[in-house]
Amino acid sequence: MSSENKQETGSAFLEFVLQKLEKRVEEVSLSLEEGQKEIQGMHEYYWENYTEMDQYGYEDYDNQQALFHQVNANQQQLLLKQRFTKMMDSPFFGRVDFVYEGDEEPETFYIGIGNFSERTGQTPLIYDWRAPVSGLFYDYDKGPARYEAPVGELTGEITSKWQYKIRGGNMVYEFESDVKIDDEILAAELGSSGEVQLKNIIRTIQKEQNAIIRNTKDRILVIQGAAGSGKTSVALHRIAYLLYHDRKNLKSSDILILSPNSVFSDYISHILPELGEENIREMSFDLFAYKELQDVAADCEDRYDQIEKNLKFPFLADFLKEKETAEFTDKIEGFLLELEDSLMNFRDVEHRGFVKTEKEIISLFYFKFGEIPLLSRMDAVAEYFIDEVETLRNRDMEEEEKEAVKEKFRGMYETGDVYVLYNRFLSEEGFSTLPKVPAEKRKLPYEDVYPVLYFKYRLLNRQAKGNVKHLIVDEMQDYSRLQYKILQMLFPCRMTILGDRAQTMEDRIQDVTTFLPEIFGREIRTIYMNKSYRNTVEIASYANRLAGIQDMDLFERHGKPVKELEFDSLREAAEKIAEEVKEEEGKYETEAVILSDEKSASLFTSLLKEMLGENVFYLHRDSRKFEKGLTVTTFYLAKGLEFDCVCSWQQEIPKGLEFDRVFSVFPKEEKSALFRQGRYITATRALHELHSYFIN
């Protein structure tokens, strides 16, 4: 906005822009009504005249195209109306006054959730937070500044910066700020409760976060972020920025999130729509693997099955992890190399007088089609033979005849069953084999899921997921080297990979940044986010002591000290939690009791429902929705989510039950490092209060 038209105060500008928004909403509403009348008229014309339209269908085609364009235009107008209506609640949150180099008077830029101008093509009254000029608000204080515009780099000086909070079209506060994002504002935003889902952070984006969000150069961006550093929010805002920045080449449907659990989709579902974009596809990698292996085994264990197994039998952890190592993958490659010869029984093939000799087949198999995966290669040889026969006979074969020929060639494989071949590999390498049962009765243990998937992709033609142009991998520390090799094979696209090595779901910390360059090459850029914004200083300090973390930068937001209590039974602990919830009913909308394992969580849910009624939500592996109220779950399902108030408990189970120790009273006495990880993850879920309960 030019200096001669700018409003002197945010309140005055708010009144001005609300009038303009209201007018635009009225105009768009009228346009929608007229468009709907046009659509109705086209429908009526078609049904009244379709029997008399020309025989070649030209008129019908023209009518359908016109209808399509009008429907599309109406859809665009509807989206515009929705955006303008949403903006009326809070049109802007920031302002920058910027004097361009060579000018004397500043230009005023108001910044909001989206662009807004009185007419299409006019200078915006409000700039989208993703617009190039909006970077001034996030990256600079008063003084010299610059930003990258489509015409090149523009330099100048920021003469003032303002911050606003607007709700329901009313100004809550406005003030001029000399700092990047005022700490008091950030503290207020972080300290507010009542949200059941992840918040958008456009009002409080920090300089280091903004650099990640606006990064368009790096093909693979790895974000190693401390718990509570905002890495998931930053990743989602980065996607919103990329969609804005590259609208011609990137759509929401081109993006896939690999998430930690099924409820994560609901947890983040509103973020992109709030930022003016459509929701994107999301699924867990385990679900992806399950779908890919349906032709190999009827069922697969998932990550949570393995965690439960490790909790029960910690001595098995090293054995289970052996199949994730580079050495194990090398053994697979050696076996596959030997399989090139040992799997084959070559012989002549004859069809209707046409013969392909064993020698010719061997030559085609190993030389002409040698780059094709082993179990798909004979189909290529068969197709070559079929082409020859069709050419010599001067006619095409029927599909049934083609399939009969292919079966003759496929018969040269000793077996084409990936499960059987994987079992043979396990036997040769001295591992316990999987049950020899029909496909419909097979269930893959989790430690074998990705080795079998790798086996399948190395033996059979695989289709790279070319419809995915940007892949987001969350909780990167929980993926094995082998899983990353599979991702590299399947997704030749840009990636944003994020996680926290301190939250590894294993008995020891895994830093994937040590081997990612080996898999993805030099295209990787790693960014570290060491400042935690989520927890109070008291909670974050407590969590860091559990994990032995010393280098985390904490945002100065203080709260209640962490409460540690001991109880003699689960019921006593449940009674205490029920008492706390009743005493402070209504204070928090999202509270959680986080336990070590599924069995304990289920039992504790029953106890709390007995005491508190039905407003207790059990978040389990099959949950699809993140509910308000008191959530009971396990630490491994809570990872990736956050709650206002968290109560954690640990139990020493008497001898005779299936666990020796789930958690001990003192961390130093704990036998399982995974339980210590669980305590750390649990602590980092709490926004405001943490109660750590121990059951003797």
pLDDT in tens, 138-173: 898 899 999 999 889 999 999 999 988 888 999 988
507-521: pLDDT as tens digits: 566 788 889 999 998
More confident residue, 50 or 294: 294
Q: Residue 524: is its pLDDT beyond 60?
A: yes
Q: How far apart are CA 375 and CA 366, in angstroms?
A: 13
What is the spatial order of strands in the sheet that 255-259 belongs to?
Answer: 281-284, 255-259, 470-473, 494-499, 220-225, 524-529
Least confident of 142-151, 394-403, 515-524, 674-683: 674-683
Mean pLDDT of 483-491: 93
Reported in sequence order, the residue ranges of 574-642 that DSSP labels E, i.e. its strands, are 590-595, 616-618, 629-634
Q: Which residues pair with 590 in a beta bridge?
A: 629
Q: Residue 382: is its pLDDT beyond 90?
A: yes
| Per-chain mean pLDDT for the chain | 83
Q: How far apart are CA 540 and CA 226, in angstroms?
A: 11
Q: Residue 191: is its pLDDT beyond 70?
A: no
Which tokens go with 92? 């802007």
Q: Residue 580: is its pLDDT beyond 80?
A: yes
Q: Which of 426, 427, 407, 428 is nearest to 416 (CA)?
A: 407
Residue 340 CA to its chain's centroid (Å): 38
Q: Which of 578, 573, 482, 532 is nearest to 683 (CA)?
A: 532
pLDDT value for 436 = 95
DSSP SS3 for 213: helix
Mean pLDDT of 630-644: 74
More confident residue, 161 or 228: 161
Least confident of 54-68, 486-500, 671-685: 54-68
More confident residue, 511 or 471: 471
Q: Which of 559, 615, 560, 606 is nearest to 582 (CA)?
A: 615
Q: Which of 127-136, 257-266, 280-289, 497-506 has the highest mean pLDDT?
A: 127-136
pLDDT value for 648 = 66
Q: How far apart are CA 619 and CA 594, in angstroms?
A: 10
Q: Which of 416, 356, 403, 408 is nearest to 384 (CA)?
A: 356
pLDDT value for 658 = 23
Mean pLDDT of 265-285: 73
Strands 354-356 and 349-351: antiparallel
Mean pLDDT of 548-556: 82
Mean pLDDT of 243-266: 81
Q: How far apart are CA 290 and CA 295, in angstroms?
A: 10
Q: Residue 309: is its pLDDT beyond 60?
A: yes
Q: Residue 583: is its pLDDT beyond 60?
A: yes
* Amino acid at site 525: R
Q: Residue 55: is its pLDDT beyond 60?
A: no
Q: Which of 223, 220, 108 is nearest to 159 (CA)?
A: 108
Mean pLDDT of 487-498: 92
pLDDT band at 269 (very low <50, low <70, confident <90, very high): low
Contacts of 434 (CB under 8 A, 6+ apart): 419, 422, 423, 426, 442, 444, 445, 448
Q: Residue 387: is its pLDDT beyond 60?
A: yes
Q: Which residues pair with 564 in a beta bridge?
A: 692
Residue 346 Cα distances to 216, 219, 415, 458, 461, angstroms: 52, 45, 13, 21, 21
295: number of Cβ within 10 Å: 11
Q: Which of 444, 507, 435, 513 is nearest to 473 (CA)?
A: 513
Q: Residue 283: is its pLDDT beyond 90?
A: no
- The rounded percent of the chain whose pLDDT value lies above 70 is 86
Q: Residue 602: is its pLDDT beyond 70?
A: yes
pLDDT value for 193 = 47
Q: Which residues pair with 565 in a beta bridge?
A: 693
Q: How far apart are CA 366 and CA 382, in angstroms?
A: 14
Q: How far apart are CA 134 and CA 627, in angstroms?
A: 35
Q: Residue 198: is its pLDDT beyond 60?
A: no
Q: How far apart are CA 233 and CA 378, in angstroms?
A: 48
pLDDT value for 440 = 95
| In 269-365, alpha helices (H) | 271-274, 285-292, 303-312, 317-321, 326-342, 358-363
Q: For residues 434 and 423, is the Cβ–Cβ distance under 8 A?
A: yes
Q: How far apart are CA 453 and CA 483, in angstroms?
A: 9
pTM: 0.78
Least confident of 100-109, 447-456, 596-605: 596-605
pLDDT value for 693 = 85
Rg (CA), the chain: 31
- The rounded percent of the chain whose pLDDT value lies above 90 is 38
